[in-house]
Amino acid sequence: RLSPPRLGDDYRWEDGSTEGYRLVTEPGDYRLRVLAGCDTSWVHYRLTISYVTVKLPRDGYTVPWGETVELRPTFFSDGAVEDLHWEPGGLACDNCPSPEVAPLQSTIYTLYATNEYGCLDSASVEVRVPVDRRIYLPTAFSPNGDGTNDFFYAQGPTLARIAYFYVFDRWGGQVFALENGAIDDPAFGWDGQTNGRPAPPGVYGWALGLVFPDNEVVERSGEIILLR
């Protein structure tokens, strides 16, 4: 909105319009004649359009779980970029141009940028964190104390946490129960004992609940043969 700096009895813009103010959307030069009694003055306006544009990699980033990646935006602006803000918050530096992030799961980050003229732009980028969900459990084990295949436990490269791990006999009775355990650790497996005694050989059923780094819960079940 262009308004004259002084009141007058008559206003006349270069295009002949006579309103006391003018709404403009295009850059350019605008001249207004203001007549106040016998005094005539000219007001010259020069309107320029400021801009700021933020770009982030269209393909995003892919980073292994637990590792960091630097977010690298590119700015295009006719004035200094004075204010930056990243969402979601909680970064080591929420207002840095190129922060490092280490998300626990795939996350979309948005950067808001404002230049010295108050123009605002934003851009978003996804940081993908692939989750390896491979889990292995043997089909048989022999808990005879020879140091080989003595424990029945979940194995794999995943960073999942065991929520529960149960083993049942053929009548459905629970012979082993574990909650809140780790993958790839025999200490969080069944040693073939039940009530302090060696369980008889045979087929047992099992149920396993896993919580992955992205908070997805996976439940699995199957059978295991105990050999003696």
Q: Which tokens in the block code for residue 182?
A: 């780790």
DSSP 65: T
Domain pair 52-128 / 140-226, same fold: yes
Q: What is the pLDDT of residue 122?
A: 97
b/e sequence 190-208, b meaning 16+ C-beta within 10 Å: bbbebeeeebeeeebebeb
- Helix (H), strand (E), coil (C) string for 133-156: CCCECCCEECCCCCCCCCCECCEC
Q: What is the pLDDT of residues 3-21, one digit of tens each?
A: 666 666 677 777 777 777 7
Q: What is the pLDDT of residue 25?
A: 67
Each domain of the chain, given as residue ranges in start order, spans 10-47, 52-128, 140-226
pTM listed for this prediction = 0.63
Phi and psi, residue 75, nearest 5°: -115, 140
DSSP state letters, 32-86: EEEEETTEEEEEEEEE----EEEE--TT-EE--TT--EE---EEEESS-EEEEEE
- 3-state secondary structure (DSSP) of residue 63: coil
Q: What is the pLDDT of residue 38?
A: 73
Position of tokens 């049942």?
A: 168
Q: What is the pLDDT of residue 6?
A: 64
Q: What is the pLDDT of residue 141?
A: 97
Q: What is the pLDDT of residue 94?
A: 93
Query: According to CATH, what is the number of the domain 52-128?
Result: 2.60.40.10
User: Domain 140-226: which topology?
Assistant: Immunoglobulin-like (2.60.40)
Print pLDDT tens along the chain (228 aa).
666 666 666 777 777 777 777 677 677 787 777 777 777 777 777 667 788 999 999 999 999 988 999 999 999 998 899 999 999 988 989 999 999 999 988 999 999 999 998 899 999 999 999 988 899 999 999 999 898 999 999 999 888 999 999 999 999 999 999 999 999 999 999 999 999 999 999 999 999 999 998 888 999 999 999 998
